[in-house]
C-alpha cells in the first residue's frame, strides 16, 4: 500500500535526498530552510545508506565541499536560503565552469541583504541569469507543492548528471514551511565506486592503468581554447533548452487572459483563476516548472490566443522580463506581486488582472 504522509517541504527534500541515494549533504542553517539539515540529522542516514551529512562552517565551505564531492562523481547537495545562496555564488560558477553535477536547493526569503525570513521569489534573476560571473546557466526547477519538493530532488540529480551541470531547486519559505500530503519513492542504493567509474569516466576516481589522469578545473589560461570550451558550454545549454523544458497549463484551452507564475505564486494564481471564472472572466495559467530552460515557445504560442498576460511573482518584477521576451510584443504583459516577504492573496491577483490587464 502507498504510504501517504504529511510533511513540510523542507522535510520532504531531506528524506527524498536519502531515498534517491545521495552521497553527501553539506549545509549551514538559515531560516526558512533549516528543517532540511535538521531532518537529515534526525534520520541519521550515515547509519543506513552511508550518506554523509555535515554542518559546514559556512555556506562558502558547503558549496566548496560540493565541488570536491562532485569532482569524485558523487551525488552531493546543499540547501540554503537567499543570503546563504548569495555566499555560494562563487562556488556555483566554479562548479558550472568545471562542468560538475550537483544539486542546490534555495528556499527563498525576502531580500535584498539579510532581509526577512518570510517567503519571496526575488531570487529569480540570480537563479536563471547566473548569480556568479561568466557565461553559464544552472538548470533551475521550481516546485509548487511539497510532493514536487520531494520528486524534484531526484529529477535535479538526473538532469545534473545527464548534462554535467549544477541544478538548482528554487522554492520559497511558503513551500518549504507548509505541510501537504507526500508519497515518497522507494529507497535506491547509493552508487558503488565501480558504478561511478563506469558512468562518469570524467570523475577523479584515481588513475587506473587504462586511461589518462582526469583533471577537474575551471581554469584555462589559453583564451583560444577557452573560447572553444565556452562554445561547447553554450551548445550544452542549447541542448538543455531543446530537450528539458517542463511546464504545466491550467484552464488555458478557452482562456482570454493568461497568468504566468511559478512555485507558490502558481498555487495562488490557480485560486485566482477560479475566482475570475466565477465572475465570467476566462483566465488560465501557464506554470513554468523549469525556469532554465524557460518555456519560451509555449508562452509565445499562448500569446497569440489571449488578450493580455499577467506575470505574477513575489518580487518587484523579475520573471516578467522573460515572459516579455517570450511574448515579443504580441500582447500586453504586466507584472503583479507583493515583495519583501509579503504573500499576495488570490483576491489581490484578481484585482491586478482587472486593473492592469483588462482595464489597463
Partner 1 sequence: MNEEIIIAGFGGQGVLSMGKILAYSGVMQGMEVSWLPSYGPEMRGGTANVTVILSDNRISSPALKKYDTAIILNQQSMDKFEAAVKPGGLLLYDGNGITRHPERKDIRIYRVDATQEATEMQNQKAFNMIVLGAYLKLKPIVTMENVMNGLKKSLPERHHHLLPQNEKAIARGTEIVKEIQKI
Q: How far is the CB of 306 from partner 1 (least distance, A)?
A: 20
Residues 6+ apart with CB under 8 A from 107: 9, 10, 32, 33, 36, 79, 80, 81, 171, 172, 173, 175, 176
Any contact of residue 347 with partner 1 (CB under 8 A)?
yes
Judged by CB under 8 A, how many residues of this single chain contact partner 1? 27
Stretch that binds partner 1, among 49-57, 89-97, 289-297, 346-354 (CB under 8 A): 346-354
Q: Whole-number minimum distance, CB 19 to partner 1, in Å?
A: 20
Name which position in 346, 354, 356, 358 contacts partner 1 (CB under 8 A): 346
**Contacts (Cβ under 8 Å, ≥6 apart) of 240:** 137, 139, 159, 163, 165, 292, 293
User: Near partner 1 by CB under 8 A, which window of 121-129, 211-219, 326-334, 345-353?
Assistant: 345-353
Confirm or reject binding of residue 6 to partner 1 (CB under 8 A).
yes
Q: Check binding of 343 to partner 1 (CB under 8 A).
A: yes
Binding test (CB under 8 A) with partner 1, winner from 270, 281, 340, 358 = 270
Least Cβ distance, residue 179 to partner 1 (angstroms): 4
Least Å distance, CB 313 to partner 1, is: 14
Site for partner 1 in 12-31 (CB under 8 A): 31
**What span, in angstroms and rounded, lies between the C-alpha atoms of 233 and 150?**
29
Contacts of residue 273, defined as CB under 8 A and 6 or more positions apart, other chains included, come to 250, 251, 259, 283, 284, 285
DSSP codes, 6-33: EEEHHHHHHHHHHHTT--EEEE---TTS
Q: Closest separation between CB of residue 311 and partner 1, Å?
A: 17
Q: Measured from the CB atom, is 174 or 352 closer to partner 1?
A: 174
Which of 178, 216, 331, 339 forms a contact with partner 1 (CB under 8 A)? 178
Instruction: Say how far apart CA 190 and CA 164 lie, in whole Å.
Output: 18
Please report the beta strands in the chain, taking only residues with DSSP state E, as ranges in sequence order. 4-8, 24-27, 52-55, 76-80, 102-108, 139-141, 166-172, 179-183, 247-250, 257-260, 283-288, 290-292, 308-312, 332-336
Distance CA 250, CA 255 (A): 9
What is the separation of C-alpha 273 from the centre of its chain, rounded to a whole number of angstroms?
25
Does 118 help bind partner 1 (rule: CB under 8 A)? Answer: yes
The interface region with partner 1, picked from 37-45, 149-157, 176-184, 322-330 by CB under 8 A, is: 176-184
Among 75, 200, 267, 335, binds partner 1 (CB under 8 A): 267
In angstroms, what is the minimal distance from the CB of 148 to partner 1?
13
Buried/exposed 69-101: b ≥16 CB within 10 Å, e otherwise: bbbbbbbbbbbbbbebbbbbbebbbbbbbbbbb
Residue count of the chain, please give it. 360
* Candidate segments 22-30, 171-179, 304-312, 316-324, binder of partner 1 by CB under 8 A: 171-179
Window 181-210: residues binding partner 1 (CB under 8 A): 181
Distance of CA 181 to the CA centre of its chain: 21
Asked if 117 is part of the footprint of partner 1 (rule: CB under 8 A), the reply reads: yes
| Helix 59-71 and helix 89-97, axial crossing angle in degrees, nearest 10 | 10
- Smallest gap from Cβ 114 to partner 1, in A, equals 14
32 scored as a contact of partner 1 (CB under 8 A): yes
Chosen residue from 180, 197, 248, 321 binding partner 1 by CB under 8 A: 180
Q: Which positions lie near partner 1, rule CB under 8 A?
A: 4-6, 31-32, 117-118, 173-174, 177-181, 264, 267-272, 274, 343, 345-348
Amino acid at each position: 500500500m502507498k504510504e501517504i504522509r504529511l510533511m513540510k517541504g523542507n522535510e520532504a527534500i531531506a528524506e527524498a535526498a536519502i531515498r534517491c541515494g545521495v552521497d553527501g549533504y553539506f549545509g549551514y542553517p538559515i531560516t526558512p530552510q533549516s528543517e532540511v539539515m535538521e531532518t537529515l540529522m534526525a534520520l541519521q542516514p550515515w547509519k543506513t545508506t552511508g550518506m554523509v551529512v555535515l554542518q559546514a562552517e559556512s555556506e562558502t565551505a558547503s558549496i566548496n565541499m560540493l565541488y570536491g564531492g562532485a569532482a569524485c562523481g558523487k551525488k552531493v547537495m546543499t540547501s540554503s536560503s537567499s543570503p546563504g545562496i548569495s555566499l555560494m555564488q562563487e562556488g556555483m560558477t566554479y562548479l558550472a565552469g568545471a562542468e560538475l553535477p550537483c544539486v542546490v536547493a534555495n528556499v527563498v526569503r525576502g531580500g535584498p541583504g539579510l532581509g526577512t525570513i518570510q517567503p519571496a521569489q526575488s531570487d529569480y534573476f540570480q537563479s536563471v541569469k547566473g548569480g556568479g560571473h561568466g557565461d553559464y546557466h544552472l538548470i533551475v526547477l521550481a516546485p509548487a507543492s511539497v510532493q514536487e519538493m520531494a520528486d524534484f530532488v531526484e529529477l535535479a540529480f538526473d538532469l545534473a548528471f545527464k548534462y554535467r551541470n549544477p541544478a538548482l531547486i528554487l522554492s520559497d519559505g511558503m513551500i518549504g514551511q507548509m505541510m501537504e500530503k507526500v508519497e515518497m519513492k522507494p529507497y535506491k542504493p547509493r552508487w558503488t565506486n565501480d558504478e561511478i567509474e563506469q558512468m562518469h569516466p570524467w570523475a577523479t576516481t584515481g588513475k587506473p592503468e587504462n586511461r589518462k589522469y582526469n583533471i577537474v578545473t575551471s581554469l584555462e589560461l589559453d583564451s583560444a581554447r577557452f573560447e572553444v570550451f565556452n562554445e561547447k558550454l553554450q551548445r550544452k545549454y542549447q541542448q538543455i533548452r531543446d530537450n528539458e523544458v517542463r511546464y504545466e497549463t491550467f484552464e488555458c484551452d478557452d482562456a482570454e487572459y493568461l497568468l504566468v507564475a511559478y512555485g507558490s505564486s502558481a498555487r495562488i494564481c490557480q485560486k485566482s483563476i477560479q475566482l475570475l471564472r466565477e465572475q465570467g472572466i476566462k483566465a488560465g495559467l501557464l506554470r513554468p516548472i523549469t525556469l532554465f530552460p524557460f518555456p519560451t515557445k509555449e508562452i509565445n504560442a499562448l500569446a497569440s490566443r489571449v488578450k493580455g498576460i499577467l506575470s505574477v511573482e513575489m518580487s518587484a518584477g523579475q520573471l516578467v522580463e522573460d515572459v516579455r521576451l517570450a511574448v515579443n510584443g504580441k500582447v500586453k504583459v504586466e507584472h503583479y506581486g507583493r515583495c519583501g516577504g509579503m504573500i499576495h492573496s488570490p483576491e489581490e491577483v484578481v484585482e491586478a488582472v482587472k486593473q492592469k490587464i483588462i482595464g489597463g
